[in-house]
Amino acid sequence: MKTLPMILALALSGGALAAGGGALPGLLAGYQAAGATAFDADRGAALWVAAQPSPDGGPARSCSSCHPADQRQAGRHARTGEPIEALSPAVVATRLSDPVEVEKWLGRNCKWTFGRECTPQEKGDLLSFINR
Ligand code: HEC
């Protein structure tokens, strides 16, 4: 996707890899440069738990299939059962600190959950919710 290098370039220039949430300003700026408008944590929260039909006829999917509805709580992988630390940077200081890591997981998780990439707007809304 053409916008990804641009998003990462912007994110990395913002002095990322710092404290929890440190990658967020750069990532959000990148998503806006890619066409998103203002971000809304409430919209992100609604999308986070919205049930998506499973492509294989299994149970409906959402971000909260593996991460709990409360982003401050630890989760469990829906398929492997592996524990997943909370995504909130207020709880786990390394969260949202590395833009490459965040983009990598958004790529995988959006595809698994929605069957497609998230738009820059959706990514910004979801990260705003996670950071709330
Ligand atoms: C099938 C299970 C699963 C689903 C569903 C899922 N995730 Fe994840 N997610 C993971 C795993 C596994 C990791 C990486 C392990 C870790 O970081 O603890 C991860 C990591 C992340 C990270 C990295 C955070 C950081 O800074 O370290 C973000 C952001 C994220 N997920 C967002 C989402 C969003 C948004 C959705 C819904 C579109 C979603 N996830 C759905 C399993 C899932």
- Which distant-in-sequence residues (6+ apart) come within 8 Å of 125 by Cβ? 39, 40, 41, 43, 44, 47
Nearest to 129 by CA among 52, 68, 47: 47
Backbone angles phi, psi at 59, to 5 degrees: -60, 150
d(CA 99, CA 59): 31
pLDDT given at position 14: 52
Closest residue by Cα to atom 37, ligand 1, is 63
Report pLDDT digits (tens) over 109-132.
Answer: 999 999 999 999 999 999 999 999
The response to whether residue 46 sits with its C-beta less than 6 Å from ligand 1 reads no
Structure token pair of residue 59: 């149970």
The count of C-alpha atoms lying within 13 angstroms of the C-alpha of 97, restricted to the half-sphere facing its C-beta, is 12
The CATH number of the domain covering residues in 3-131: 1.10.760.10
pLDDT along the chain (132 residues), means of 10: 68 57 95 97 98 94 98 96 97 96 98 97 98 94
For the chain, domain boundaries: 3-131
Q: Which of 28, 54, 85, 109 should be mutated for ligand 1, with most atoms under 8 A from CB?
A: 109
Distances in Å between the Cα of 77 and the Cα atoms of 49, 81, 93, 124 are: 15, 5, 21, 23
Between the two ends of the chain, the Cα-to-Cα distance in Å is 28
